[in-house]
Chain A
Amino acid sequence: MNWILIFLAGLITYFLRYSMISFIKKDMLNEKTKTLLGYVPSAVFPALIFPAVLLDNSASFVSYNDPKILAILIAMLVGFFSRKIIATILSGLISYWVIIFLL
């Protein structure tokens, strides 16, 4: 059973990836829809960021002085000014480690 579930999970995931790429044709999207689709990363990724930072394993809010909150704020600032992926990730991780290990 587990084997079947793994393959079905793979099939479902693949279908989700492939379906729109194969289905949508150029003339199906007008300029307005294309503009809307440009917002997809900004609409999807925060849904993965906010809960991971603000909620704990039991889905209640972490305290305001949780190291993750300060670290992600630093990463946001560094990323805002540098506009670099690597700077955002590293500044966040390093400040997180400084907070939990040194402070």
Chain B
Amino acid sequence: MKSSKIFTKGVLDVLPLLIPVFPFGLIIGVIGVELGFSPLMVFVSSLVVFSGSAQIVLFQLVSGGASPLVTLTSVGVTNSRHFLYGAVLSEYLEDLSTTWKIFLSYFLADQSFALSQRYFKENSSLKNKHFYLLGSGSTLWLVWQTSSLFGIFLGSIVPEELGLAFAIPLTFLSLIIHEFRKIDHLIVIITSGLLAILFYEIPFKAYIITASLGALMIAWIITNIKYKKT
């Protein structure tokens, strides 16, 4: 298949996810400025961090007077899930040059990861499948930059009453909805959710990675049972 076709497929598949990404980017722009960062700083944070959850943590902790060490630890712990994303995709990206790997890693966000994992799995024989991650990731990137700029300069053009923060959990739900029919995945999903509630108040927002690793332990047990059967 032609690389441009795969790229376009990535772009098209990520379009529905932009419905929540755009308002989230707006919120980031608004919050950053409200918490006392200069417009340029907020925009540069979207450029260099390119991760909504990490940017919110950064803005809130710095403006709240947290020490640099606490701030950076929180950013790292919040985003440590990307470590797992990289591990998952490594299998499919291994044959690429270092330059490609350096470049593609920048676009590895929650949404582009989830879509690419599915695509790579179903099209593992395609040599240029990485164009899918490039297409979905760069589209996300473009919309993220645009929406944070809008938020910085136009303020909350979307009324708060709409409750668009709710679009964030909906995004993540939509990314795993195809797994709900599988009982093994359902067990992992429920474990992760319950652990996240249980550990919600531990420091550094570590509940995300704690719940993820806990759920992966259950997944490991399930994997072992599966392999024993066959």
Contact = CB atoms under 8 A, between A and B. Distances in A.
Bound together: yes
Contacts of B175: 41, 45, 85
A13 B200 contact: no
Contact of B219 (A9, A36, A90, A92): A36
Contact of B117 (A6, A41, A49): A41
A43 interface: yes
Interface of B is mostly: helix
Contact of B83 (A19, A85, A96, A97): A19
Q: What's the interface size class on B, roughly?
A: 35 or more
A98 interface: no
A44 interface: yes
A13 B89 contact: no
A21 B106 CA distance: 11
18 contacts: A1-B68, A5-B68, A16-B82, A16-B83, A19-B86, A21-B108, A22-B101, A24-B91, A36-B219, A37-B84, A39-B188, A42-B176, A42-B189, A43-B191, A43-B216, A46-B193, A47-B192, A92-B170
Interface of B: 13, 16-17, 19-20, 37, 41, 44-45, 47-51, 54-55, 58, 62, 68, 71-72, 75-76, 79-91, 93-94, 98, 101-102, 104-106, 108, 110, 113-114, 117, 121, 161-163, 165-181, 184-185, 188-197, 200-201, 207-208, 211-213, 215-216, 219-220, 222-224, 226-227
Interface of A: 1-14, 16-26, 29, 32, 34-55, 59, 68, 71-72, 75-76, 79-80, 83-86, 88-90, 92-93, 96-97, 100
- 6 cross-chain pairs, A with B, having the tightest CB-CB distances, nearest first: A10-B48, A20-B86, A50-B193, A79-B177, A86-B16, A43-B215
